[in-house]
Amino acid sequence: MEPNPLAGVVLYMLGGLAGAVFYLPFKRVKQWAWESYWLIYAISGLVVVPWVLAFIVSPKVISLLVQADAKTLALCYLFGAMWGVGGLTWGLMIRYLGVGLGLAVGCGLCASAGTLIPPLFTGQFGTLLHTASGIATLVGVAVALVGIVLVGMAGMSKERELPEEQKKAAVAEFNFKKGMVVAIFSGIMSAGMAFGLRSGGSLEAAAVAAGTAPTWQGIPVLVVVLLGGFTVNCFWCLYLNIKNRTLSDYTKKDAPLGANLVFAALAGFIWCLQFITYKVADSKIGPFAFAGWTVFMSSMIIFSTLLALALGEWKGVSRRTGTMLATSLVVLVAALVIIGYGNKLKAAEQKAAQHNPTAAQQLQARALIGLKRGRELPQSCLMWWMAGAEPHAATGCPQVS
């Protein structure tokens, strides 16, 4: 399939928009505890929507998963469970900080963790300091941390300036200290989604081989990752339902059961759209896929900030606090751009290495070619051939003028 980077970028941005607004339907849920409507959201967004789509676009999805490599499935599932923990606390983060501040901090940390954790696991972290791409990536992470500190400072300034009544009017359960602790944990754990979606390359290849259109090749991977996330969300919500005695929410006569189910399920549907568009964008972006996560996260920050301003979460703050917030978001977006640039440099370095291999790589490549030809070169001619001279078809020795 011919890459379409522009379409890929637009899809990443649409995913960021969905991630920024999915929480809005929850505001219409009445007389239900958090764990009750979150469970319905999880059933809708993590199970029903992705599996229905998978059966539509990849009818052989069950056989694909049965025949898939166990290690690939395990990695996708476990990273999904890691994200599931982050996803649970993501909801709490928004609950305590609001859409704008919560998503800005969470997305900044998620992007940074999604960049640093993979090389830590593979033992390649030290090599980052020896390449231009590695240095650029580390600079981007450092800038992101500065932006996160600035967001925190803006939040503390807001907490000091606004009366409690006004803060509660915008965010009913606003609690800056709790929210920041949850945001740090949630942002790091939520990076598991990025790892999980990138761990299913062999499954994507198998899906295409089985007849799935390349545009939808990532959907079988998505259902496995989300299954891991659903496991965590389901058990936690049911635990809270039992602990808090809120199982009765689903049968309350004075609660709008139908409306609550619809709005909670709608939140799940919108939420799932962000990662459906993300995986479709991966198939469109071609060689520029390295920038996908940063484009996705920066878009979510931009849209969540605009939404927070529209919801009045920062209404009434001083000009100084408003300037600090704006500066922090600019710094966060700049950090994501720098991280994306670091990934671009990495891709360029890999491309250069392919076109300009070392002497040892050239020697190994030529030896492999010789083996494939099934020809034993005379010992006296071997080094000439390894050095670059093609062997004569009849004698096997290079012709030397």
Cα four-point dihedral sign 190, 194, 195, 200:
positive
Helix residue spans in 1-131 (DSSP H): 5-21, 34-42, 49-57, 61-67, 70-97, 99-122
- With tokens 């929507």, the residue in question is 49
- C-alpha neighbours within 13 Å on the C-beta side of residue 331: 20
The tokens for 16 are: 């960021």
d(CA 243, CA 14) in angstroms, rounded, equals 38
Closest by CA position to 154, among listed 109, 105, 92: 105
DSSP string, 33-69: -HHHHHHHHHIIIIIIHHHHHHHHH-TTHHHHHHHS-
For residue 238, the 8-state DSSP code is H
The tokens for 171 are: 């965010």
pLDDT in tens, 383-395: 444 444 444 554 4
3-state secondary structure of 253: coil
pLDDT in tens, 92-121: 887 787 766 676 777 777 877 776 676 676
d(CA 46, CA 54) in angstroms, rounded, equals 12
Domain range annotation of the chain: 5-356, 357-401
pLDDT in tens, 242-291: 999 999 999 988 889 999 999 999 999 999 999 999 999 888 876 556 56
State the average pLDDT over residues 39-66.
Answer: 96
pLDDT in tens, 313-368: 788 888 998 898 889 888 888 887 887 777 677 767 767 776 666 654 554 455 44
Q: Is the pLDDT of residue 169 over 70?
A: no
Helix axes 219-243, 70-97, angle to 10 degrees: 50
d(CA 247, CA 349) in angstroms, rounded, equals 56
d(CA 89, CA 182) in angstroms, rounded, equals 6
Question: Is the full-model pTM beyond 0.85?
Answer: no
Question: Measuring CA to CA, how many Å separate 319 from each of 154, 314, 325?
Answer: 11, 11, 10
DSSP string, 356-391: S--HHHHHHHHHHHHHHHT----HHHHHHHHHTPPB
State the average pLDDT over residues 204-223.
Answer: 93
